[in-house]
Structure 1
Amino acid sequence: MAYVIAQPCVDIKDKACLEECPVDCIYEGPRKLYIQPDECVDCGACEPVCPVEAVFYEDDLPEELSAFRTADREVFDGLGLPGGARGRAPLAADHAVVDAVPAPSTT
C-alpha cells in the first residue's frame, strides 16, 4: 500500500508534502505531484500538510478519485524506482488521467 495524490492537487502543486516526505518519493509532474508507490513507506507525513487535502492513503481514496491510484502507479512505468526526487528534473509529462482534468479558467 501507499499514499496517493489525487485531483485536488492538479494545477495547485503546493509542495508542502515534499518537505515532509522522509524518503523523497514525491515527484513533480507538469500539473500534479505524484507518489512513487514502491518508494513510499506509508509514514503518512505528507497527508496532514496538504492544504487542499489531495493526499489519501490508498485504501481510503474515494471511489470517484480511484483513477488517481492508477495514475500514481503508471506514471512511473518507464522510470522504475528513480531513487528519490531531489535533484531530478520534473517528470516530462503527466498521466492521461491528469491530462483529462480541465485546466482552470483564466477569465
Structure 2
Amino acid sequence: MISERLSSTLTLAELAREAGLSAAYFSQRFKSSTGTSPHQYLLRLRVCKAKTLLDESEAPVIDIAAECGFQTQQHFARIFGRLTTKTPTEYRRERQRLTLASTYASLAANHELGF
C-alpha cells in the first residue's frame, strides 16, 4: 500500500486501518519490525524514488518532488538533504558527472582495444 500510494498523502490512521490495528499499536509493531517509524520509512521510500527519477529523467526537481509525494520543493530538498547530505540538484549533477566519467572510461578502454 505504501509503495502504491507513495505520491499521495498517506496517514498513519490509513496504514493502521489497512492492517486492522489501532494507530498506536501499528506504529509500535511497524517500528519493532523495521527499526524505523512509519513516517521515516515513507520518507526514505520517497527519497529512494526521487533518486531514481533524478538519475533517469531530466524532469525539473519540483516535478520530481510532487511525483514523490512532497508538498513543496523546499520540504523535498530539506528531507533529501537530511537523508543524503546533498540537495537534489547536487545529487543529480554528481550522478551525471559519474555517468559521464564512466562513459569516457569505457570509450577509452574500447579505443585501446581497437574498437
TM-score, normalised with respect to structure 2: 0.25
Q: Quick check: which has more Rg, 1 or 2?
A: 2
Larger RCO, structures 1/2 (Cα 8 Å, 6+ apart): 1
Greater percentage in helix? 2
TM-score, normalised with respect to structure 1: 0.27
